[in-house]
Amino acid sequence: MDNYPFLDSQMNSDFMSEFSSFINKVGKGDYTDKFSTDQIFPSCDDMIDWVWKIAFQLGFVVVIIRSDTATGEPERKIFVVLGCERSGKYRKYKQDVKPSVSGTRKCECPFKLRGKPKGHSWVLKVMCGYHNHELAETLVGHPYAGRLNAAEQSILIDMTKSQVKPSNILLTLKEHNEDNVTTIKQIYNARYTYKRSFRGLRTEMQQLMMLLDRDKYIQHSRCLEDSDVVSDLFWTHPDSAHLVNSFNIVFLMDTTYKTNKYRLLLLEIVGVTSTGLTFTAAFALLSSERQHNFTWALEMFRRLLLTTEGGPRVVVTDRDIALINAITNVFPETYHMLCTFHIMKNVKAKCKMLVDNAEAWDGLMVEFAHWNLKRLLGSSMGDLCSYWDAMHNVIVLQHNKIRASFEKSINLKSDAYKALRYKRLVGRVSRYALELIADEVQRVNKIGLDSARCGCILSSTYGLPCVCILARYESGMTPLGEIHVIWTRLSISRTVSTESLP
């Protein structure tokens, strides 16, 4: 070495350079002054919040490493040790497992703070103020930083109950708090945790049936032979049962697939009110699309029909042979129609048919109600309770809209119906029926009493006076007797009392 003295100076220079770099690096990563404070905190939580806010601004997350805050023993000291989320190192739960493909954030970061009580307050001391890693520019994706606080949890629960999509929940949280770093995955996890805690130890089917009981739904179920496993479930809202008996003439029946992870198909039965609005008469979850499953569901539906009028008179379906055969067996006197929505492939031909055929419009209108449910449920493979929540919300909104339409028909007055011919009808007949009659009134002067030119489509399909009938009463009031009784029903619970329902 004496022969190469320049090597000693070069090595010393390299060593001093590396040491200086290390000192600069530590100095840059030393945040002792940021957390050194003489402040006295009212409580431990206040102290932790103060530390967390400063760490968030700097770009790292502080977690509780150790604590002893409720010992009750005089010999043990009360304290809280706070540290970087990257402190410590990852420990495998099982040493014999294969290497994990996932990573870890832990890098044995030495940053530590210690809090201890002083009287009834708390003080903070810095044990080590530097990090051995670069601080993050953003905390998005850090699980601890993205946790929801109590207020955010409350917002998530309320929006989950209202069937708001997780992406929209996340956007709402970020609008309320611009510093929110929650990710969509954490929203999904929080929703699952809430639903799981709400269900408790009950199975999904038990939870679903509990929800039906809670909201006083009329329900029937049956199990597989020699088993406690529910194979088919039928339910309807009590107000829907009243509507079924009030508007018992036309129903549409259709099935929906791929809406739950158990692959149970959904049979939906839809009716139409006197105000032209659709309502969900009943639902049935069926284990298969065989005739005996449909027959059982329709028999349960028949139990809802308690009036002397019976019904239904017309049922609209698609080309499902098993469902058609079941309808023939359960309602042999019912007239069956194929829905134009399913059999018409050409849109222009469909629109032309709607102009010429009022029955085609009714079938399409009811089918759109069923399509609306399909759109809401989507192709989700979710659990049965989420499935039921969506359907329950649809029913609640339907009934609210129907009640508003009844009130409008009873109390709303307008100049269009001030003529003498409407005097006995306004307030007693739905406005939807009045609009149909008003269209016929426009043709009275051209057609008069000529039934051949009239065609009598309105009277034969709707039970409302057509042109040739209205011409008889041109100089006076149209009698209420010319109106089918279905158009005079403007209340949900007018036909059947609650006590008479099963």
CA angle, 88 then 89 then 91, to 5°: 125
* Residue 341 burial (CB count, 10 A): 20
pLDDT of 345 reads 39
Is the pLDDT assigned to residue 473 strictly greater than 50? yes
Residue among 26, 29, 47, 27 nearest 37 (CA): 47
- Which has more confidence, 234 or 346? 234
Is the pLDDT assigned to residue 406 strictly greater than 90? yes
SS3 for 286? Answer: strand
Q: Which amino acid is at 242?
A: H
pLDDT category at 73 given cuts 50, 70, 90 is low
- Which has more confidence, 87 or 24? 87
Give me the mean pLDDT over the 446-474 stretch: 87
To which H or E segment does residue 79 belong? strand 79-84
pLDDT category at 292 given cuts 50, 70, 90 is very high
Give me the mean pLDDT over the 409-435 stretch: 89
- Which has more confidence, 358 or 91? 91
Task: Count the helix, strand and coil residues of the chain and give each as a percent rounded to the nearest 5.
Answer: 45, 15, 40
pLDDT digits (tens, 9 = 90+) for 185-229: 889 888 888 877 777 778 878 888 888 998 899 999 998 877 778
pLDDT of 14 reads 53
CA–CA gap between residue 440 and residue 444 (Å, rounded):
7
pLDDT of 165 reads 84
pLDDT of 293 reads 93
Are the C-beta atoms of residues 172 and 155 closer than 8 Å to each other? yes
Q: What is the mean pLDDT of the chain?
A: 80
Are the C-beta atoms of residues 312 and 251 closer than 8 Å to each other? yes
CA–CA gap between residue 326 and residue 190 (Å, rounded):
44
Residues 6+ apart with CB under 8 A from 311: 248, 249, 305
pLDDT of 371 reads 56
Residues 204-405: name the CATH superfamily.
Ribonuclease H-like superfamily/Ribonuclease H (3.30.420.10)
Of 124-133, 252-261, 293-302, 372-381, give the range with the top mean pLDDT.
Answer: 293-302
pLDDT digits (tens, 9 = 90+) for 92-123: 666 666 666 667 778 888 899 999 888 888 99
Is the pLDDT assigned to residue 404 strictly greater than 90? yes
SS3 for 65? Answer: strand
pLDDT digits (tens, 9 = 90+) for 301-331: 999 998 887 779 899 888 889 999 999 999 9
Specify the range with the lowest mean pLDDT, choosing from 384-393, 410-419, 456-465, 485-494.
Answer: 384-393
Give me the mean pLDDT over the 164-177 stretch: 88
Are the C-beta atoms of residues 316 and 339 closer than 8 Å to each other? yes
pLDDT of 405 reads 94
Is the pLDDT assigned to residue 27 strictly greater than 60? no
pLDDT of 499 reads 39
Q: Residue 35: left (phi > 0), alpha (psi -120 to 50), or beta?
A: alpha
SS3 for 50? Answer: helix
CA–CA gap between residue 248 and residue 401 (Å, rounded):
19
pLDDT digits (tens, 9 = 90+) for 227-278: 778 889 999 999 999 999 999 998 989 887 766 666 778 898 999 999 999 8
pLDDT of 260 reads 66
Separation in Å, CA 257 to CA 130, 212, 273, 288, 334: 58, 22, 27, 11, 26
